[in-house]
Amino acid sequence: MITIEMSEVRDNSSRLREIITNTHLRAWIGKMAAMCQPDRLVLCQGGAAERRELFAMGVSQGVFIPLNQEKLPGCYLHRSNPNDVARSEASTYICTPLQAMVGPTNNWMDSKVAYIRLQELFGDCMKGRTMYVLPFVMGPIGSRLSRVGVQLTDSLYVAASMDIMTRMGDRALHVLGESAEFARCLHSVGDCDPRRRYICHFPLDNAVWSFGSGYGGNALLGKKCMGLRLASFQGFQQGWMAEHMLISGIREPDGNKSYVTAAFPSACGKTNFAMLIPPESYRKKGWQVTTVGDDIAWMWVDDTGKLRAINPESGYFGVLPGTSETTNPIAMRTISHDTIYTNVALLPDGDVWWEGKTAYSPAPATAPIVDWQGNPWTPETGRPAAHPNSRFTSPMQNNPILDPAADDPQGVPVTAIIFGGRRASTIPIVYQAFNWSYGVYVGASLGSETTAAATGRVGVVRRDPMAMLPFIGYNIGDYLVHWFRMRAKMADPPRIYHVNWFRRDEHGKFIWPGFGENIRILEWILKRSHGKAYAVETLLGWMPRPDDINLDGLELDTQAFAAAQRVDAEALKAELLAEEELFLKLAGELPKEMIFMRELLISRL
């Protein structure tokens, strides 16, 4: 880290010019510092030694609590403000001169109005604080899609987290060189007043200004803000795609390796899919699954017409409740060291706990358990020990099944794209779209059922096109058109599939075992994509016969699987009527291909 005094910034001193040689970056930093008025600037250079220094500073300032270094080496606990525990969608805006650029699914604010409002908030907001300068790269160094960003922040937590989640420091400045092309990301925790909380994206300026939150996607501006909202708009302009998708590699017994991307709404098994461990019977045969990424995929079509993908992030920012040795042992190994835990319970021995980590709540020992807000806790309090949206921030190098190509600038070839949702009925376990256009329709009409805990009603289907609804940085109609246009660039497009691990039987029990057993469905998907598997034509798409799925060792027999694959025409008609919610919302914005695909589906009924 290099400390820069404000006097050096005001005077544009020779030392400042030696430290920050890029004139565009130096001028922007000077302008933002003059507005925010920090006491000093600290330029972060990246690396393990600097990260340790950031943690040490955080401990001294009360930002981080060191955990048991024997059990959890290199791990720290952070507690956010109790009113600042999740992405603030109501406070998230896309700011452009014309509302038509934003469309019906985003919050819009006129860019001039937004800048005026934000300048009032940011004015003098860092007095008495340090401004951390965080240059970073999204994507493997040297990739054609990699993008440089620079975040200015007054949060030490953000500085340490961005070092994990991005390729931060001197290497980013080296990639930037003298270019003016970098995402300008300004952030301040401010006073953390929700009434003064704004996460504003300026796609035409390649900029994000975030004020009033120090948590997650509101504050780590390389993630959802730059990685999806700004990047999706840039992909639309430049002919590539930024999607809310995991990327996994699957090696088959014959040594052939394929890569798939998958888009699931929340609570549909995305992280478990990205870190899937095949059952022992498959591992013995040589099946292996590796992780390229668990959240974001940037994709382009190479010179041969093949769709390729990179993971722009270098770490994981995952949900903890429900994560355990049973549900996701790979995640548990990943977060066993060098990890930031946010808003979890602290045990007397310096370990951490969250609901679902173990079958039973830990019993207090010599000292009480401390909940995520820093208060004494026992199960009898009736409140959760960890916040339901508590998180871990961990480097991807911690992942024991990290794919060797995870940092390859050439990316990986995409064989299949998988969409999935949580549906108790109607939707089968797996089917293949007839073609790319119908696959886009399948993804665009993606729905997942809410739970009683979330909405008070069970079985309410919420539409989430491509699992991207909160993250599309421009008009959703243009976004869907872009999906259709990408097909023209491809010589051999990936096959598109839909999965539903959550179909229930007449007794309300899950039919499919899920977790590692999902490799059985992936086996058919890969064979089908390579022209080696049979399928039958149905109303919804191509489906495997029961005999086409390996059910050996499962309690599920072919008859039960056939029942889980059954498509009821009347139920499907009701599903089409339910999709009217999406179609009405997009009235006037809907691509003609979507309407055509819908009419074809109706005609099959």
What SS3 state is found at 7?
Answer: helix
Cα end-to-end span (Å), the chain: 64
Residue from 44, 75, 185, 268 carrying the catalytic annotation: 268
Q: How many CB atoms lie within 10 A of CB 362?
A: 17
Contact between 320 and 78 under an 8 Å Cβ cutoff? The reply is no
268 in catalytic set: yes
State the SS3 of 269-319. Answer: CHHHHHCCCCCHHHHHHCCEEEEEECCCEEEEECCCCCEEEECCCCEEEEE
- Taking the C-alpha atoms of residue 97 and residue 108, their distance in angstroms, rounded to an integer, is 10
Structure tokens at 82: 């109790």
Q: How many CB atoms lie within 10 A of CB 574?
A: 11
Q: Strand 92-96 and strand 345-346: pairing?
A: unpaired
Contact between 41 and 29 under an 8 Å Cβ cutoff? The reply is yes
Hey, what's the torsion of the CAs at 299, 301, 307, 308, to 10 degrees? -50
Q: Who contacts 571 (Cβ-Cβ below 8 Å, separation ≥6)? A: 425, 426
Containing 547, the helix (H) or strand (E) segment is none
- Taking the C-alpha atoms of residue 216 and residue 223, their distance in angstroms, rounded to an integer, is 8
Structure tokens at 323: 């994560």
- Taking the C-alpha atoms of residue 591 and residue 605, their distance in angstroms, rounded to an integer, is 22
Burial (Cβ within 10 Å: 0-12, 13-18, ≥19) of residue 383:
exposed
- Taking the C-alpha atoms of residue 599 and residue 605, their distance in angstroms, rounded to an integer, is 10
Comparing CA positions, the residue from 205, 195, 210, 253 lying closest to residue 230 is 205
- Taking the C-alpha atoms of residue 126 and residue 37, their distance in angstroms, rounded to an integer, is 6
CA 57 to chain centre: 29
Size of the chain in residues: 605
Containing 327, the helix (H) or strand (E) segment is none
- Taking the C-alpha atoms of residue 152 and residue 38, their distance in angstroms, rounded to an integer, is 11
Taking the CA atoms of 516, 518, 524 and 530 in sequence, report the sign of the dihedral they define: negative
- Taking the C-alpha atoms of residue 289 and residue 407, their distance in angstroms, rounded to an integer, is 17
Q: What is the DSSP letter of 194?
A: G
State the angle between helix axes of 111-122 and 23-36 in degrees (0 to 180), rounded to the nearest 10: 60
Taking the CA atoms of 22, 24, 25 and 28 in sequence, report the sign of the dihedral they define: positive
Based on its alpha-carbon atoms, the radius of gyration of the chain, rounded to whole angstroms, reads 24
Cite the active site residues. Answer: 268
